[in-house]
Amino acid sequence: KVALIGHSIGTITSICTLGRHGPLVDELVATGWAHVPRVIPVDPSAFEQPLQRASVVFPADFRTRLFYHLPTTDPAIIQYDNDHLANGLPRALMLDVVGLMTALGIGDPAQIKATSLVDRVAVPVLVQLGQYDLIAPSSLAAQEGSFFGASPGVTVQTLADIGHDFNLHLNHLSSWHKIDAWLAATRGG
């Protein structure tokens, strides 16, 4: 059995891949992203300068505010992450994400589905959303499952006291343990 696990842009890419090419894996774990209409709380001007380069890198203060819940993150991890970010996202990929964020802001579910291909994912799906994730907050959990129309089963979990970069928070194991338990239950083991 093979599970595809994506986080944030990795989730967007995983969903698009499964939507375009069919069930290439047995399960999908989608963390840090939601399809519920909303406006991502980022000033659009924050994208102007980074999108001028082939590889998009956002300033440290922007990343810190957007990716971390400070009470449950070691400040040294944030500093290390910001100091050692070796490369950014390809500009073309970031433009695709901006297009999806625009669809979310417009709030048209049909456009969101057409842009993301979420309604074509035909495998069991686990979605995890963080309580303090500014990009995909757990407040969207009740509506998120409805976007996966072709999936035989969708489980949406919320993670308390965590921001967007799940794995760089002190309480990241809550995500890992829930993923492990979901995979075992989905596989009947």
Q: pLDDT digits over 68-80, tens only?
A: 999 999 999 999 9
Q: How far is CA 112 from CA 12, 86, 97, 99, 119, in A?
A: 12, 31, 12, 10, 9
Q: Mean pLDDT of all residues in the chain?
A: 93
Residues 6+ apart with CB under 8 A from 115: 99, 100, 103
pLDDT band with cut points at 50, 70 and 90 for residue 7 = very high
Whole-angstrom Cα Rg for the chain = 16
User: Is residue 43 pLDDT above 80, yes or no?
Assistant: no
Q: Report pLDDT for 179.
A: 98
Q: Alpha-carbon distance 138 to 163, whole Å? A: 10
Q: Report pLDDT for 94.
A: 84
Q: List the structure tokens of 36.
A: 């519920």
Q: What is the largest CA-CA distance in the chain?
A: 49
Percent of the chain with pLDDT over 70: 98
pLDDT digits (tens, 9 = 90+) for 102-161: 899 999 999 999 999 999 999 999 999 999 999 999 999 999 999 999 999 999 999 999
User: Within 13 Å of residue 87, how many CA atoms lie on the same side as its CB?
Assistant: 5
Nearest alpha-carbon partner for 144 in 36, 7, 30: 36
Least confident of 41-45, 118-122, 181-185: 41-45
Helices 9-21 and 109-116 cross at an angle (nearest 10°) of 80
Least confident of 12-21, 61-70, 112-121: 61-70
User: Is residue 189 pLDDT above 90, yes or no?
Assistant: no
User: Is residue 86 pLDDT above 70, yes or no?
Assistant: no
Nearest alpha-carbon partner for 32 in 131, 153, 152: 131
Could you count the other beta carbons within 10 Å of the beta carbon of residue 24?
13
Cβ 68 vs Cβ 61: under 8 Å:
no
pLDDT band with cut points at 50, 70 and 90 for residue 172 = very high
pLDDT band with cut points at 50, 70 and 90 for residue 168 = very high
Cβ 135 vs Cβ 188: under 8 Å:
no
User: Is residue 97 pLDDT above 70, yes or no?
Assistant: yes
- Only one residue has tokens 């309580």, namely 131
